[in-house]
Chains A and B, each alone.
Chain A
Amino acid sequence: MRDRADLVIIGGGVVGLSLAYHLARLGFTDVVVLEQGYLCFGASGRNGGGVRQQWSTEENIQLMKESVQMFRRLSSETGYNVWFRQGGYLFLARDAASAQGLEANVKLQNRCGVPTRLISPAEAQRVVPGLAPAGIQVCAYNPTDGVLFPFPAVWGMARAATQLGVAVETFTRVTAIEARGRQIVKVVTDRGAIATNRVVNAAGAWSVQVARLLGVELPNKPYRHEILISEPLKPFLDPMVSDLSDGTYFSQTMRGEICGGVSDPAEPSSMETRSSLRFLERMCRAMVRVVPTLANVRVMRQWAGFYDETPDGQPILGRVDEVDGFIQLHGFGGHGMMLAPIVGKLAAEWILRKADHALFQRYDLGRFKRGEVQKETFSIG
């Protein structure tokens, strides 16, 4: 392992690797990425792969438009097929408040150039064969949203970054970060130390622990989020379907499996990764309500990952007051995979001072002290 680096990225998930990849593409390769497990160990390897542009703030819509374009190129850029399939996203509203929310979102999305449409339950049945229309008021459908296979997105960015000269160290746990005054001097791992003045915290659910190594307290909380996958079926389901009444979402993978999860308001913050029967039952009920014929499909497997949640549902990006050269890139909730390409690219440009992006001031840790908080209302799962 290298014993010094211009920049050390803690966290070999899709966010840290996207940053490493984009730094390397800009010619900055004196970078070490430290991953505590295997690649895909954390949330980057445990999510449903949804990529949507249906958001409730202009900023997130514009970022996600960029990410979609980047995912379209990612397979050919990295040599790993990420199976990005633009089958759309279909949101179901069962009450007046959700319907009004969708209406407002669709107008905003259209102004941003995203072709989302409000459609009736009858029309939605043509998009999702077998959809039960009862109780659905209105749907929002954007055919250019999509789903990808998370693993190759992670591996592809890791390999592309490595080929350009970045070092990606798996099974390497950070045990300490040493500082002299405000300046970082060293990252200590269970496989040796790396002298550096700059550290990026991209550790997802482990970000709070990483920040604490430098005495920085983060407001993030990790939440278990469970997900299941069915036996493979003949391809029949184009979009990701999401029921806003309970936060259910599911889509069909390129291997034919139905894969999805559901929100659980009773889930406490924890670092628990065991699977629960409670989730299995809630998810199965939710799926049958949306598409009753799924009742005959067999569930093969369930697992859990983490949502790294912040108080306002937006990520934490940028510097901290306490220490120099300590950059935060975490708090992505359930949206790290879909935001990773564009956030990694913008962060690389910002770190190398190729461009200034307001994102890294607006979403810095200090916003919670300043009270400048604008909540993203359209988070699912």
Chain B
Amino acid sequence: MGKTIVCQCEDVTQGDLEDAFEQGFRDLESLKRYTGLATGLCQGKCCIAHAARFLAALKGGDEAAADPPRTRPLLQPTPISCFAGPEELSASPASREGQK
């Protein structure tokens, strides 16, 4: 049987998830941290659903145990230069308020 890839960015396989589960990493937050799953360029958009399904199966169909990890910004990788402009051009009102 071939390998089943769960996370393409970080090259995490179904076997990796099973190993991690064996080691005691039995929630998605922990699986993410242990395998690197969902921490690549797609930031989980392509893999979290697959990982959740595999985890639910490993837990014996317990879908509730596979709540997705909290989504973190950014929506997509964005160059530092986009946020590093002069403060007076800042996109963030909070940023200007903080300068008082």
Chain A residues with a Cβ under 8 A of chain B: 37-41, 45, 151, 155, 171, 230-231, 255, 264, 266, 275-278, 280-285, 287-288, 294-303
Instruction: Say yes or no: is B94 at the interface (Cβ < 8 Å to chain A).
Output: yes
User: Quick check: A300 and B41 within 8 Å, CB to CB?
Assistant: yes
Instruction: Say yes or no: is B18 at the interface (Cβ < 8 Å to chain A).
Output: no
> CB-CB contacts of B1-35 with A at 8 A, as 1s and 0s?
00000000000000000000000000101100110
Q: Specify which chain B residues have a CB less than 8 angstroms from the CB of A40 in the assembled complex.
A: 30, 33
Q: Which of chain B's residues has its CB closest to A288's CB?
A: B84
Nearest chain B CB to A373's CB is how many angstroms away?
Answer: 29
Q: Specify which chain A residues have a CB less than 8 angstroms from the CB of B85 in the assembled complex.
A: 285
Given contacts A38-B30, A285-B87, contact A298 B92 (CB under 8 A): no
Q: Specify which chain B residues have a CB less than 8 angstroms from the CB of A282 in the assembled complex.
A: 95
User: Quick check: A284 and B94 within 8 Å, CB to CB?
Assistant: no
Q: Specify which chain B residues have a CB less than 8 angstroms from the CB of A37 in the assembled complex.
A: 29
Given contacts A277-B95, A278-B94, contact A299 B72 (CB under 8 A): no
User: Quick check: A297 and B91 within 8 Å, CB to CB?
Assistant: no
Q: Interface residues of B toward A: which range? A: 20 to 34
User: Quick check: B77 and A299 within 8 Å, CB to CB?
Assistant: yes
Chain B residues with a Cβ under 8 A of chain A: 27, 29-30, 33-34, 36, 39, 41, 43, 72-74, 77-85, 87, 90-92, 94-95, 98
User: Quick check: B72 and A278 within 8 Å, CB to CB?
Assistant: no
User: Quick check: A38 and B91 within 8 Å, CB to CB?
Assistant: no
User: Quick check: B84 and A287 within 8 Å, CB to CB?
Assistant: yes
User: Quick check: B43 and A300 within 8 Å, CB to CB?
Assistant: yes
Query: Considering the chains assembled together, what is the distance between the CA atoms of A281 and B81 in angstroms?
Result: 9
Nearest chain B CB to A64's CB is how many angstroms away?
Answer: 26
User: Quick check: B79 and A295 within 8 Å, CB to CB?
Assistant: yes
Interface centre among A40, A155, A280 (most CB of B within 10 A): A280
Q: Specify which chain A residues have a CB less than 8 angstroms from the CB of B74 in the assembled complex.
A: 280, 299-302
Given contacts A294-B80, A296-B81, contact A39 B72 (CB under 8 A): no
User: Quick check: B30 and A39 within 8 Å, CB to CB?
Assistant: yes
- Sample 11 A-B pairs with CB under 8 A, ordered by A number: A39-B30, A231-B77, A276-B94, A277-B95, A281-B92, A287-B80, A294-B80, A298-B79, A300-B41, A300-B74, A302-B72
